[in-house]
A = this chain, B = another copy of it.
């Protein structure tokens, strides 16, 4: 257990608060809705922000996630995660290597990495990631260039990787049961919450479905 936030092995629903997807919406309000709806982890992503903008945004969000006992991870910027005292970073394959990030962050913060194949997932584990993202499971406009990995790979990755695996990419309330049936225990969403008419209700529905299906699919894992 790090910094009094829920351990990532207990995560079910990971919500990416993404500036590009949220558009004109206030990110603090969006985050609060996601927290009320039951999000277990939050990632702040804003690829277009200056460092100052991202720092200020993270400073606004951190007290909210802290109150809820939910981890706040910063996308890409290890320096900003450090500067704001966030719970960790989420790295893409083109971001800083995990070991370099760990040297800056120290052992007390979480590092996750997006992976798109079993090889990348195993490499992330070897390099000391605390969790991995795996996907995209479905084609998604958030990552138009990425080829989807396919649901059949979930079981292989979750059995070979001894870290929490956060499945991602085009998951919504409709596709979620298939994702859980394929072996997912934790999922991440962007559009399904950030672009929802009612982000709190959308989060709650996903969380409820997820908890229910994960229980049905694998009682032992709870």
Question: Who on chain B is nearest to A83 by CB?
Answer: B100
CB neighbours of A51 from chain B (8 A): 76, 94-96
Tell whether, in the assembled complex, residue A83 and residue B103 are in contact, meaning their CB atoms are under 8 Å apart. Answer: yes
Q: How far is the CB of A102 from chain B (nearest CB, A)?
A: 10
Q: How far is the CB of A38 from chain B (nearest CB, A)?
A: 32
Given contacts A79-B82, A83-B104, 9 further A-B contacts (CB under 8 A): A50-B94, A51-B94, A52-B96, A55-B96, A77-B79, A79-B100, A82-B100, A83-B100, A83-B101
Q: Does A53 contact B (CB under 8 A)?
A: yes
Complex interface bits, A42-71 against B, C-beta within 8 A gives 1, otherwise 0: 000000001111010000000000000000
CB neighbours of A55 from chain B (8 A): 96-97, 100
Please count how many residues in chain A sit with their CB below 8 Å of the partner chain's CB atoms: 22
Q: How many copies does the complex hold?
A: 2
Q: Does A80 contact B (CB under 8 A)?
A: yes
Tell whether, in the assembled complex, residue A101 and residue B76 are in contact, meaning their CB atoms are under 8 Å apart. Answer: no
CB neighbours of A101 from chain B (8 A): 79, 83
CA distance A181 to B80 in the complex (A): 40
Residues of A whose CB lies within 8 Å of any CB of B are: 50-53, 55, 76-80, 82-83, 92-97, 100-101, 103-104
CB neighbours of A94 from chain B (8 A): 50-53
CA distance A44 to B80 in the complex (A): 20
CB neighbours of A97 from chain B (8 A): 52, 55, 83
**Listed residue (A51, A80, A104) with the most chain B CB atoms within 10 angstroms of its CB:** A51
Partner of A79, one of B52, B53, B93, B104: B104
CA distance A97 to B54 in the complex (A): 12
CB neighbours of A78 from chain B (8 A): 79
CA distance A92 to B79 in the complex (A): 15
**Listed residue (A94, A97, A101) with the most chain B CB atoms within 10 angstroms of its CB:** A94
Q: How far is the CB of A59 from chain B (nearest CB, A)?
A: 11
CA distance A79 to B80 in the complex (A): 8
Q: How far is the CB of A167 from chain B (nearest CB, A)?
A: 24
CB neighbours of A76 from chain B (8 A): 51
